Amino acid sequence: MPVGGAETLLVNLIAGFDPRRIQAEIVCLKEPGPLGETVAERWPLHSGLLGSKHDLRVLPRLIRLFRSREADAVVTVGAGDKMFWGRLAAWLAGVPAILSALHSTGWPDGVGRLNRTLTPLTDGFIAVADHHAEHLRERERFPAARVHTIRNGIDTERFAPQTALRQQIRQELEIPETAPVIGIVAALRPEKNHEMFVRVARRVVDSRPDAQFLIVGDGPQRPHIERARDEAGLAAHVRLLGTRHDTPALLAAMDAFLLCSHNEASPVSILEALASGVPVIATRVGSVGESVVEDESGYLVDGDDDATMAQRVLELIGERELGQRLGQTGRRLVIETGSLTSMVEGYSQLIEAIYDDRVLRRTAAASASPAAVATRTSRYRRSEPEPNSPAVPR
């Protein structure tokens, strides 16, 4: 679990669950990662289950884990190995509810032929936006009745326009109050296309030498991005801040937010920026257009259209009232459609509904053999909770 959008979203999700309804545990096939180590301080975290790409022992390890924890539901997050082994092990372990949550419309969340073979074992596929749900139905060919849309949600009280934080960050980074600040918050991975961010910065700085650009996040592309920045002569204008845990303050210091990704579904970083009152300029990919509404909460550009993105940046930082108008509209849009509460409740209701349906089906199937009912359904029967000790699915 690196510090990325989908991973941070997962932490916010499990933190929001009502423990009387759902008790969450996290499974990392390999190492926990920096965010996973932090998560382990609050919730059970299991790791070290996959030794290598072709380590088939991961299957019995996961089966034993799900059985020993008496898991009632398994939700895989993202595609690849975790989606395949997680669902197969859950099915073999007899877990009642099996779901897959996906967060992109391409690599690294391209499902692939092997993962599609497990579609019959999967009770639900979770999309993060309407366009994303359409992609899962039409491009990934998942059964329409099993595709559910649960919009990404963020804490709109934590992410909000905050003048004091704006001044604090600018003082820390020694940025004058009058200098425009443009930022990106994204893991430093190839699909995030930070090279475009650097190229746009070069064009903007040519017209606004006082502009400052902030790259928040870390990852394997860091050396490549640093080299691109230095070759563009932008060492004094583009700062790589690495992993930070004060994202609300950093966003508050920005005048515009960029996202240059090759593919996305509904990026959390965009929702956080909009909730903070920062207008967004993003590439026209995935479901981004559902949050970045043209000339209402920001602007969309075609992939790698550096010139148009730079021009939009110059318009925003040159017309303060325009940026404020777009930022206010963006915040209102997120409050109406992307709250953390609605996302948590969406997951809770879906997990419970599928769990209840599976239990009823298994009980009905076993009713033909009364002697077998107790042994075949005892794990899944919801008994009346003892006082102060509610029975909850894990």
Q: With 0-12 CB in 10 A as exposed, 13-18 as middle and 19+ as buried, what is 208?
A: middle
For 14, half-sphere exposure in the C-beta direction (CA atoms, 13 angstrom radius) is 20
Alpha-carbon distance of 194 to 240, in angstroms, equals: 11
% of the chain exceeding 90 in pLDDT: 74
Judging by DSSP bridges, how do beta strands 280-283 and 298-301 pair with one another?
parallel
- Res. 42: pLDDT tops 80: yes
245 vs 294: which has the higher pLDDT: 294
Summarised one tens digit per residue, pLDDT across range 146-177 is: 999 999 999 999 999 999 999 999 999 999 99
Q: What is the pTM of this model?
A: 0.78
> Alpha helix (H) ranges present in 117-193?
130-138, 163-172
Among 4-8, 163-167, 266-270, which stretch is predicted with the lowest mean pLDDT? 4-8
Q: How high is the pLDDT of residue 94?
A: 96
Top pLDDT among 100 and 1 is at: 100
Give the three-class secondary structure for 103: coil
Q: Which residue has the tokens 């709109």?
A: 156
Sign of the CA dihedral with 112 first, then 115, 118, and 120 last = negative
Residue 295 near residue 329 (C-beta atoms within 8 A): no
- Phi first, then psi: give them for residue 32, nearest 5 degrees: -65, -35
For residues 176-202, give the mean pLDDT. Answer: 96
pLDDT digits 0-9 by tens, 54-105: 899 999 999 999 999 999 999 999 888 999 999 999 999 999 999 999 987 7
Token pair for 42: 């609050």
Total Cβ atoms within 10 A of residue 7:
22
List, in order of start, the domains of the chain with CATH numbers.
5-153+341-377 (3.40.50.2000), 163-337 (3.40.50.2000)
Task: Give me the mean pLDDT over the 342-369 stretch.
Answer: 87
Q: What is residue 287's predicted lDDT score, i.e. its pLDDT?
A: 85
What's the average model confidence in pLDDT over 285-302?
Answer: 93
